[in-house]
Amino acid sequence: MKKQKDEEIRSVVRQSYGEVAGSGLSGCGCSVPGCCGTSSDVKSSDIALGLGYSSEDIASAPEEANMGLGCGNPQAIASLQPGEIVLDLGSGGGFDSFLAGRAVGKRGLVIGVDMTPEMIAKSRRNAEKAGFENLEFRLGELENLPVADGIIDVIISNCAINLSPEK
């Protein structure tokens, strides 16, 4: 029974965030497009500024990567260093992954994992368009990560762990 309930939760999350990825709208810190008003009322850059990201952070990532879905700024406490390997849980469109990629540099690597095929496709397109070569985006669930054991230096997440039925 629990396994069935967990799958129902994953299905709802996958569907909701898949719709956000394809809509081009901001999620306003949740998975419902326009939940903070109309899409013209609230911009994802304004949401990011309110969460503690700098204007430089926002400008350094592809515009489509920042969809206003986060609830904090993991970069502010991660203390990322050049050459580190970072795992971004629930990477979405890749906003935090792009910032982490900039911080770890060409010798580092950022692996973004998301359970939504639409988000993975979006983040991969963003990475290709922006020329980031130290980012990988992989389809997977937080409970069963597509990453080898013992290779990650730092794990970041921005409002994704709360969506997992198996925290």
pLDDT tens profile 64-94: 999 988 899 998 899 999 999 999 999 999 9
In three state form, how does the secondary structure of the chain look?
CHHHHHHHHHHHHHHHHHHHHHHCCCCCCCCCCCCCCCCCCCCHHHHHHHCCCCHHHHHHCCHHHCCCCCCCCCHHHHCCCCCCEEEEECCCCCHHHHHHHHHHCCCCEEEEEECCHHHHHHHHHHHHHHCCCCEEEEECECCECCCCCCCCCEEEECCCHHHCCCC
Q: Would you state the pLDDT for residue 25?
A: 59
> Is 121 a residue whose pLDDT tops 90?
yes
What confidence tier does 26 reach under pLDDT thresholds 50, 70, 90?
A: low
pLDDT in tens, 148-166: 999 999 999 998 988 888 8
The CATH number of whichever domain residue 37 belongs to comes to: 3.40.50
Structural tokens at position 52: 């503690």
Domain containing 72 equals 2-163
Q: Would you state the pLDDT for residue 1?
A: 78
For the whole model, what pTM was predicted? 0.85
Q: Would you state the pLDDT for residue 31?
A: 42
How many independent structural domains does the chain possess? Answer: 1
